Chain A
Amino acid sequence: EDQVTQSPEALRLQEGESSSLNCSYTVSGLRGLFWYRQDPGKGPEFLFTLYSAGEEKEKERLKATLTKKESFLHITAPKPEDSATYLCAVQAIWGGKLTFGQGTILTVHP
């Protein structure tokens, strides 16, 4: 059974204080690992897809990396508008369904 574990559950940062979110996964064959951002009361918004170990993708202050066992979402010099829940999900090779982690609630204080 595919499993995704995200840590920490919640993270509080000061504006400009860089940090990383972790997503550990077990899947029998990885098709892709996805990162989403979710604002309160809204649907998840797609950020990145990573397909193979060593791959990296960037978008503004966010950078996602992937190894064979985990993925990191690095946030550089965050701003209050980066506050949201960040969700990680994996897609197995033989199924299009996504298995989600519980998410990390990020709060960035001005």
Chain B
Amino acid sequence: SQTIHQWPATLVQPVGSPLSLECTVEGTSNPNLYWYRQAAGRGLQLLFYSVGIGQISSEVPQNLSASRPQDRQFILSSKKLLLSDSGFYLCAWNNGVLDSGNTIYFGEGSWLTVV
């Protein structure tokens, strides 16, 4: 069966410091990968998605970037964090081509507090 791992689970970072959140998926090949952000425990905003290694699409302009160095690895980064980057970050995956109707499954999330 497929599993998704995301870490770290929580982190507190000072303003201006770098960020790296990592996500890996097991039990599948060539998944679509997603990074979402959830503010105040409510609706999810799509930040990035990837259909393959090195292929990243950004949904909103922001202080963050994403990379996919391996088929099942997705990384969310920032060079200098802002207070507004605080939130709950979720990695997700699904199978197939981007226009399929396959269900998207989420990781357990990473709580980021920028102080």
Contact = CB atoms under 8 A, between A and B. Distances in A.
Contacts of B99: 31, 93-96
A91 B101 contact: yes
B104 interface: yes
A43 B97 contact: no
Interface stretch (B38-46, B65-73, B75-83): B38-46
Interface of B: 6, 32, 34, 41-46, 49, 59, 90, 92, 94, 96-109, 111
A102 B109 contact: no
Contact of B109 (A41, A49, A89): A41
Nearest to B96: A96
Interface residues of A, number: 27
Nearest to B104: A98
A51 B101 contact: yes
Contacts of A40: 41
Give me the 5 closest cross-chain CB pairs, A-B, nearest first.
A43-B106, A96-B98, A102-B43, A100-B44, A32-B101
